[in-house]
Amino acid sequence: MKLTAGEKIRFERTFTKQVVERFTKVSLDEGNHHTNPDEQGRLVVQGLLTATLPTKIGGDYSVLARTMNFEFLRPVFTGDTISCEVTIEQLERKDHKKVSIMAAFLCTNQHGKLVLSGNFSGVILTEE
């Protein structure tokens, strides 16, 4: 798939208790808010688990990340569906095998509230 500057790519995911439990084991981020449900039976999703939304899109396009900046704006809970919109801000061919990329992203919950924003840069290795 070819990317173009200005292009917007969208992905969404609903975070489940099982996913948070698996991430807790892998990351060792075992804070009480990730392991003990609140009064509504929800767990708080780890920030870095929420941050897998823009990294998933980077993975779809084989981006080798160099920098990633995250601003965590409000908590995400199990059962929340988070939409991530990545905007390709800049693409620049460095040579016949590398394209540099800069992108920004916004993640919102099912209520339209912004939960995460940030940006990333990196390179895409090409066959051209």
Which domain CATH number covers 119? 3.10.129.10
Q: Is residue 90 part of a domain?
A: yes
Q: Is residue 68 part of a domain?
A: yes
Q: Is residue 98 part of a domain?
A: yes
- Tell me the torsion sign for CA atoms 78, 110, 73, 59: positive
Return the structure tokens found at 46: 């780890």
Q: How many domains does the chain have?
A: 1
Task: Report the first-to-last Cα separation within the chain, whole angstroms.
Answer: 13
Q: Is residue 21 part of a domain?
A: no
67-95 pLDDT, tens digit per residue, is 999 999 999 999 999 999 999 999 998 88
**Residue found under tokens 């390709």:** 88
Q: Is residue 36 part of a domain?
A: no
Range of the domain at 55: 8-14+45-125
Q: Is residue 83 part of a domain?
A: yes
Cβ-contact 83, 8 below 8 angstroms: no
Contacts of 101 (CB under 8 A, 6+ apart): 3, 61, 63, 88, 90, 91, 121, 122, 123, 124
pTM (two decimals): 0.88
Q: Is residue 128 packed enough to be buried (19+ CB in 10 Å), middle (13-18) or exposed (0-12)?
A: exposed
98-120 pLDDT, tens digit per residue, is 899 999 999 999 999 999 999 99
